[in-house]
A = this chain, B = another copy of it.
Amino acid sequence: MIKAVVEIRLKKGVLDAQGQAIGEVLDQYDVDGVERVRVGKLVELSFATTDNIEEQVEALCDQLLVNHEMEEYSYRLEERGDE
């Protein structure tokens, strides 16, 4: 089975309220090393076939999963034996 791991991020310049909220908590806890926090989505698609996976992932991202006004995505494919 092949799993596509899709990482969906807010585009640069789009307000990330969740990331800001985490950043403020880090400030309260005196965590100094972290300069910026951005929060995105992780979508894992498990495929039963091995045909045209890239094509299917890109079609799903373009048409359904990603809001192209505000988000951008990247993905990788992983082979999974056990699931």
The copy count of this chain in the complex is 2
- The docked-state distance in angstroms from the alpha carbon of A56 to that of B51 is 41
Q: Which residues of B contact A41 (CB under 8 A)?
A: 39-42
Q: Which residues of B contact A51 (CB under 8 A)?
A: 33
- Distance (whole angstroms) from the CB of A83 to the closest CB of chain B: 8
Known contacts A39-B41, A41-B39, A41-B41; is-contact A34 B22 (Cβ 8 Å): no
Counting chain A residues whose Cβ lies within 8 A of the other chain, the interface size class is 35 or more
- The docked-state distance in angstroms from the alpha carbon of A7 to that of B41 is 9
Which A-B residue pairs are the 8 nearest by beta carbons?
A: A40-B42, A36-B46, A35-B48, A38-B44, A42-B42, A35-B46, A33-B49, A34-B45
